[in-house]
Structure 1
Amino acid sequence: MVSAAPYIEVITPFVICVGTSLEDSTAIAQAIDRRAIVMIAPDSEAARKLLVGDTGIPDSPAGMEDLETRVIERGCLRVDLVSRQVTWGEVDIALSAREFDLLATLATEAGRVWTFEELMARIWKTRYLGDADPVVSAVKRLRRRLALVVDELRVVSVRGVGFRLVVPD
């Protein structure tokens, strides 16, 4: 008779930090000191996805869950969300990952003002706590990249609110 080794079930507790700042989440992780797994989620929907392992649809920069929306076209601007390529007419526009995410988000609803809060949540996956510097810096870099290729495409500041994309017809 073969005896099986005893089975010992080890349960590792975990903590989900939802909507907390990076500093608060870090403090929680340090306080727990490897006694639990710490997962950080920007909102309850992201926490739900972490828990159920919802990876069926890749997240797009703007958070669109529609599989039909793979390419955004606004005038001569074409943003391919799958290949992460941007073109203006026939000219390719090389962008960093953050610049691509920013442009793709703004292009989903060109002309609409995207608030700092919305941009921080969608692109940086964090809450806006009054510091617009990350958004402003990314917009500056995006404007520089776009200016190398096209003059007509503009990211316009709406003072104290956010930004909007202006695409000529």
Structure 2
Amino acid sequence: MANGDVPLVVCVSADLELRKWIVQRIDRRTPVLVCADLDELRATLFPAEKRPAGDALRPARVAAEPAAAVMHGEFVVDVDGHQVTWRGGVVATTRRERELLARLARPPLSVWPYEKLFVEVWGGSYLGDSSILHSAVKRLRRKLRGAEGAPTIETVRGVGYRLSS
């Protein structure tokens, strides 16, 4: 590095042990920015100004109209209504899980590459670490198994995920 520049190490990982491991291996003169996810990194680097606290980490929606529910047969994902249903029964999900399911269920059903899912659901650039996405899919699979006959999330190895009936 020229002119005495000091590098900045940025570690983004949901895994606390990995974050500790990285920090322990960096010399004490190098600044390290450690964040659990891209939302936290974005909020740290670009603090929101004059936005409600709940909106600080998400880009403002361009259209004022609510998003239409995504339906795949009897499987309904209503992101704005905060609900996922299968044959009329509610499947408990988080906001991110609903957004992920809405992308996967959007017709025509196809393989969604990791990169595209990451951008669409988490709103950030894909940095090659798909562990956040894999964790979300793992939780969703567990929840969908509880709804007998519900669609499943298939892995297309090395490419991404797709919803199947």
TM above 0.5, yes or no, is yes
Residue 99 of structure 2 is aligned to residue 93 of structure 1: no
The one-letter amino acid of 2:98's match is: F
Distance 1:145 1:54 in 2: 29
Partner of 2:160 in structure 1?
Answer: 162
Seen in structure 2, the aligned counterparts of structure 1 residues 125 and 55 have a Cα distance that, compared at 3 Å, is: closer
Distance 1:54 1:131 in 2: 25
Residue 10 of structure 2 is aligned to residue 23 of structure 1: yes
Distance 1:157 1:144 in 2: 14
Question: Pairwise mapping of residues 133-144 of structure 1 onto structure 2 (< 5 A)?
Answer: 133-144=131-142
Distance 1:54 1:142 in 2: 26
Residue 140 of structure 2 is aligned to residue 148 of structure 1: no
Q: Is the 8 A contact 1:155 1:166 kept in 2?
A: yes
TM-score (norm: length of structure 2): 0.61
The one-letter amino acid of 2:152's match is: R
Q: Which has the larger radius of gyration?
A: 1
- Bigger relative contact order, structure 1 or 2, given CA contacts below 8 A and separation 6+? 1
Q: Is the 8 A contact 1:120 1:128 kept in 2?
A: yes
* RMSD, matched Cα: 3.2
Seen in structure 2, the aligned counterparts of structure 1 residues 165 and 110 have a Cα distance that, compared at 3 Å, is: farther
Partner of 1:57 in structure 2?
Answer: 63
- Give the share of equivalent positions with the same residue, in percent: 35
TM-score (norm: length of structure 1): 0.59
Partner of 1:104 in structure 2?
Answer: 102
Q: Is the 8 A contact 2:104 2:163 kept in 1?
A: yes
How far the C-alpha of 1:72 sits from its partner, in A, is 1.3
Distance 2:102 2:116 in 1: 13
Seen in structure 2, the aligned counterparts of structure 1 residues 56 and 127 have a Cα distance that, compared at 3 Å, is: closer
Distance 1:98 1:71 in 2: 15
How far the C-alpha of 1:110 sits from its partner, in A, is 5.3
| Matched positions, count | 120
Partner of 2:118 in structure 1?
Answer: 120
Runs of 4+ displaced beyond 4 Å: 53-56
The one-letter amino acid of 1:92's match is: V
Query: What SS does the corresponding residue of 2:136 show, helix, strand or coil?
Result: helix
Query: What SS does the corresponding residue of 2:10 show, helix, strand or coil?
Result: helix
How far the C-alpha of 1:80 sits from its partner, in A, is 1.6
The one-letter amino acid of 1:57's match is: A
The one-letter amino acid of 1:39's match is: F
Unaligned stretches of 5+ in structure 1? 1-21, 30-37, 41-52, 59-66
How far the C-alpha of 1:55 sits from its partner, in A, is 5.1
Unaligned stretches of 5+ in structure 2? 1-8, 12-30, 34-44, 48-58
Deviation sequence 1:69-113 (CA, Å, 0-9, x none): 511111110112321211111111111122111111111135211
Partner of 1:81 in structure 2?
Answer: 79
